Amino acid sequence: MKHPTHSSLPGPEDITRVELPNGIVVLVRSNFNSPSVALNGYLHAGALYDPDEKLGLADFVASALMRGTAQRDFQAIFDALESAGASLGFNSATHTTGFGGKALAEDLPLLLELLAESLRQPVFPQKQVERLRAQLLTGLTLRSQDTSDMASLTFDQIIYANHPYSRPEDGWPETVQAITREDLVAYHARHYGPRGMVIAIAGAVTPEAAVEGVRAALGDWSNPKQPAPPELPPVASLEKEERREVHIPGKVQADIVMGAAGPRRKDPDFFAAALGNSVLGQFGMMGRIGDAVRERAGLAYYAYSSLSAGIGPGPWSVSAGVNPANVDKAIDLIRAEIARFVSQPVEANELADSQANFIGRLPLALESNGGVASALVNLERYDLGLDYYLRYADLVRTVTPEDVLSTARRYLHPDRLGIAVAGP
């Protein structure tokens, strides 16, 4: 049986937040119903810092962190994790490099030790660097043949013209080819440091023990060279519709991505946009878009909308996979659905269904230690406040059909969409 207090949502009463003297923020929530712990976090070392000619550098560094440290080689790191039944991994994004891991509670010290070694003392062995480069280049070759990936990448180039968000985080074959081992060492030495780092731990550990564990592993880390996160330039709205096509021969499907830049996660209209997006192309059989394009017109293999609000204005877009002969028909139909979405309020029952779905999904997302650790990280990343999950249902419920309409009109202009198509 679940412990009664744990079934409640995380809040100021059971989240411990401590900032270490070197700038690392530690967030902890105990859960003794399972014998394990999950760890999640990030530091400010993302693709934003990559020079154009070495694009993919942050991603390369993050991928190489566990390929060998001053203490252990690649095999020894892998063996240490495997013998404890634990996991640890790193991934790079635009603003940050993230990490996540899981272990039995008794192995938390090992997990923190490996995390600290990988973050502080990677040695980037030349042989491993070349092996990794081959893997990254293989990934980019696969990307260039993937209609969905190429439509998405081209869409970003349209709506984020002259903005850092227009660049692929994993770079291009020629930029990854140009990265040297010295580049990896220099990037790591400059950008990896404790200032602005966040680490969340959830599971069978007391807050005191978790904070002490982080302090022991990372409390004496410092990097005076670590730069402050750069200011993001504004995103300019499109003046008119812009469409680009990527020709990938030999494919039987074309992929479409169309839309605009949406809100930031911290913007006051985020919930209205998120709930509106659910009605437009997420809820049930992929909302209105799925209903119009896939169910009724039979034009698409899949069709849905998505909203990716982050530190900056993420894309608000509709994606569809279609028979190449149906590209124009599908685009017209999607445009018509977006026009309807910005011309009249959503139905009260459509909004109520999405609100119930959002509120019902939250406890499910927080059922595992991994879900809680990642939720705690988001509190800090977007400065939401420790009581955010307690206020969540009210934030969702207070959105009205009029809020959705005014927000949709702010971001989505049916005659000024970016449209990317990739296919044969």
Is the Cα dihedral 93, 100, 26, 32 positive or negative?
positive
The pLDDT value recorded for residue 188 is 98
Q: CA angle, 291 as apex, 273 and 405 as ends, to 5°? A: 25
Mean pLDDT for 382-388 is: 96
pLDDT of residue 419: 98
| Residue 36 phi, psi dihedral angles, 5° rounding | -110, 170
Residue 36 pLDDT? 97
Residues of the chain above pLDDT 70, percent: 98
Report the pLDDT averaged over residues 385-398.
Answer: 97
Quote the CA–CA distance of 197 and 22 in Å, as a whole number: 9
Query: What's the pLDDT score for residue 410?
Result: 97
Angle at 315 between CA 235 and CA 358, to 5 degrees: 130
**Torsions phi, psi of 91, nearest 5?**
-150, 145
pLDDT at 80: 97
How many Å apart are CA 156 and CA 159, to the nearest integer? 5
pLDDT of res. 298: 87
Confidence at residue 413, expressed as pLDDT on a 0 to 100 scale: 97
Q: pTM here?
A: 0.93
Q: How many whole angstroms separate alpha carbon 78 and alpha carbon 72?
A: 10
Which domains are delineated in the chain?
11-218 (3.30.830.10), 242-423 (3.30.830.10)
The pLDDT mean for the chain works out to 95
Residue 116 has, within 13 A of its CA and on its CB side, a CA count of 18
Mean pLDDT of 398-414: 98
Sign of the alpha-carbon torsion through 299, 262, 361, 211 = positive
Q: What angle do CA 295, 334, 247 make, to 5 degrees?
A: 105
Rg of the Cα atoms in the chain? 23
Supply the pLDDT for residue 295. Answer: 87
Q: Which helix (H) or strand (E) holds 358?
A: helix 348-365
Give the per-residue pLDDT at 286: 86
- 223 by Cβ neighbours in 10 Å (0-12 / 13-18 / 19+) ranks as middle
The 10s digit of each residue's pLDDT in 346-380 is 999 999 999 999 999 999 999 999 999 999 999 99
Give per-residue pLDDT as tens, 266-310.
999 999 999 999 999 988 778 899 999 888 888 889 999 999 999
2 pLDDT higher than 70: no
What pLDDT does residue 7 have?
53
- Report the distance separating Cα 342 and Cα 405, nearest Å: 6
pLDDT of residue 49: 95
- What average pLDDT does the segment 387-411 reach? 97
- Residue partners of 49: CB distance under 8 A and separation at least 6: 57, 58, 187, 191, 227, 230
pLDDT tens string 50-83: 999 999 999 999 999 999 999 999 999 999 999 9
Model confidence pLDDT, tens digit, residues 78-121: 999 999 999 999 999 999 999 999 999 999 999 999 999 999 99
What would the pLDDT profile of 109-158 be if each residue is shown by its tens digit? 999 999 999 999 999 999 999 999 999 999 999 999 999 999 999 999 99
Q: What is the C-alpha separation between 237 and 240, in angstroms, rounded? A: 9
Residue 304 and residue 167: Cα distance in Å, rounded? 24
Mean of pLDDT values over 214-242: 95
